[in-house]
Chain A
Amino acid sequence: AQSVTQLGSHVSVSEGALVLLRCNYSSSVPPYLFWYVQYPNQGLQLLLKYTSAATLVKGINGFEAEFKKSETSFHLTKPSAHMSDAAEYFCAVSGSGNTPLVFGKGTRLSVIA
């Protein structure tokens, strides 16, 4: 069974500041890990995914995440926040193949000018 915990339902950063969104997972099998973003009034879009290749994964819009097995973490970072990054971010985990993704409760990112 898999589960995801996202620490912080709401994170607020200043424009240009570091973005750090935290995700810890639990999985009984080697996990596949994902970050999705949901902009206001839009569907979910894949930011990046980890599938047992490189532990540092680069995604779209300057985001990246590092898989740390020892910490069971997959935190999302971006060096410099932009106003357009304001959105809801979801971390998700699955086993292999097409098994359904298990999502965290989401973190809403606000960017302050």
Chain B
Amino acid sequence: GAGVSQSPSNKVTEKGKDVELRCDPISGHTALYWYRQSLGQGLEFLIYFQGNSAPDKSGLPSDRFSAERTGGSVSTLTIQRTQQEDSAVYLCASKGGHEKLFFGSGTQLSVL
């Protein structure tokens, strides 16, 4: 596609529910990243996929968070048993080779 696409753009959920956030990277980009942006906290790295290598999960805040990338393309970030502190904008980015990082517009998650 022309850019990194994320869906949904907004998600409101109740505390305790599971949510899935989707990222479609730019076609051909081998590297895919998930970040979380909270008010006043900047961007927090969550997880990184590079080709067929094992993902770097070092930024995931708890075992309620997981992500997968199917076929080296689309990625899904899953948050189980959501908590109010999970409310944030979740950003996906992709990169091919040594090019710059391209960001999607994010998913605004609100946990009530």
Contacts and interface: CB of A to CB of B under 8 A. Distances in A.
B62 interface: no
B22 interface: no
Contacts of B31: 98
Interface string A77-98: 0000000000000101000011
A23 B21 CA distance: 32
Give the contact-size bracket for chain B.
Answer: 20 to 34
A20 interface: no
The SS class assigned to the B binding surface is strand
Given A100-B45, A100-B56, A100-B59, A43 B105 contact: yes
A106 B42 contact: yes
A100 B100 contact: no
Given A43-B105, A98-B31, A98-B50, A103 B100 contact: no
Nearest to A49: B100
Contacts of A100: 33, 45, 48, 56, 59
A102 B44 CA distance: 8
A6 B40 CA distance: 12
Interface string B30-47: 110101000011111100
A47 B101 CA distance: 11
Contacts of B101: 46, 101
Given A98-B31, A100-B56, A43 B104 contact: yes
Contacts of B93: 44
B41 A42 contact: no
Question: Which of A46, A98, A106 has most chain B Cβ within 10 Å?
Answer: A98
Contact of B43 (A46, A90, A97): A90
A104 interface: yes
B95 interface: yes
A106 B44 CA distance: 12
